[in-house]
Amino acid sequence: MIPYKYILFRIIAIFPVVVGAVTLMFIIMRLIPADPVLMLIDPAHRTPEVIASMRKAMGLDQPLYVQYFSYLFNVFRGDLGYSWHSGHTVTEELIMRFPATLELVTISLIVCVLVGIPLGILAGWRRGKMADHFASGITLAGLSLPPFWWGIILIILFYFFIPLCPAPLGRISIGVNPPTHITGLYLLDSLLTGNTVVFVDSFRHLILPVAALAFFNLALLTKLQRSEIAEALESDYIKTARAKGASETTVLFKHALKNALLPTITEIGLIFGGLIGGEVVVEQVFSWPGMGRYAVDCIQFVDYAGLQGFIIVVVLTFTVVNLITDLLYAFIDPRIKQ
């Protein structure tokens, strides 16, 4: 049975979370020791009249509390403001860049799940053996450096020293036209239009940034899954199943894995939300035209509205994904009540 009251409560709870995030980001942005007006005006034209006119146009001549409540009111109307450094509204910028980020993050998550969970299960099942040592090495390597450092290392290895991957300059090679726009996801659009050239080229451009993003989170998922499987295999109900003559395969997949996957589902949700907000520097390293790179540009130009809009998208993603993972608990184990 779908817990409608719980879903409604969680949806209502999104509003104070968004308000808190907007408030915090509003304060932090105003504490940055830089003037967005001066960033936009050429030094040769920085006269008092031009500066005052620009401040008025940007609404920065108003008191801070007026700016805050005005922005908050506009956010709940669906207006995220105007991105002065790009010349477009924040909503237009985020919609235009969201497919690039979504494609990168989704494929990274798929790699994490397809590699991390089986590796963690194998390590927990074969504790102290070769598979466990291998998984521990992967975990140690993945957690030793942040994703953007892995990105730099991968570029050096597989573009400069061993040129197996294309230049880290975006989603597609120069001279190759993007696929016909349907979803904005290059892999999916090229498949839908039967454009194999674009599919192969965009796939090759995804390899290094996906690997950089996935490696760190894959290590987290492997470590968690190993721990959960090892703990489940020591439980009393597992000992009872073995005493009744159940095979090790039955014990692992029918009994232990069902309970061991519950914390992993939560971790997958957190990883996805973290990838949306955490790919900022990785996108910059690979010149990936997604929301993360847009956020970096907003920081450089002290673009209040753009960065605040990016934070709102990240917060909404976290809350929605957490709601979905909580609901999955009920489907996996009906005994869990929301």
Question: Which pLDDT score is estimated for 337?
Answer: 47
The whole-angstrom separation of Cα 200 and Cα 190 is: 9
Q: Which of 11-25, 127-141, 201-215, 315-329 has the highest mean pLDDT?
A: 201-215
Q: What average pLDDT score do residues 306-321 get? A: 86
Q: Residue 95: how many CB atoms within 10 A of its CB?
A: 13
Q: Could you give the percent of the chain with pLDDT greater than 90?
A: 29
Strand, helix or coil at 88?
Answer: strand
Token digits for 56? 């008025």
Q: What average pLDDT score do residues 174-180 get? A: 90
- Is residue 257 pLDDT above 70, yes or no? yes
The whole-angstrom separation of Cα 142 and Cα 130 is: 18
Token digits for 203? 């796939």
Closest CA to 59 of 28, 29, 86, 37: 37
- Is residue 250 pLDDT above 50, yes or no? yes
Say if residues 312 and 21 touch (Cβ distance below 8 Å).
Answer: yes
The whole-angstrom separation of Cα 318 and Cα 314 is: 6
Q: Delimit the domains of the chain by residue range.
A: 4-89, 97-332
For the chain, where are the E strands, in sequence order?
Answer: 82-83, 88-89
**Domain 97-332 coded CATH 1.10.3720.10:** yes
Q: Which of 45-49, 135-139, 330-334 has the highest mean pLDDT?
A: 135-139
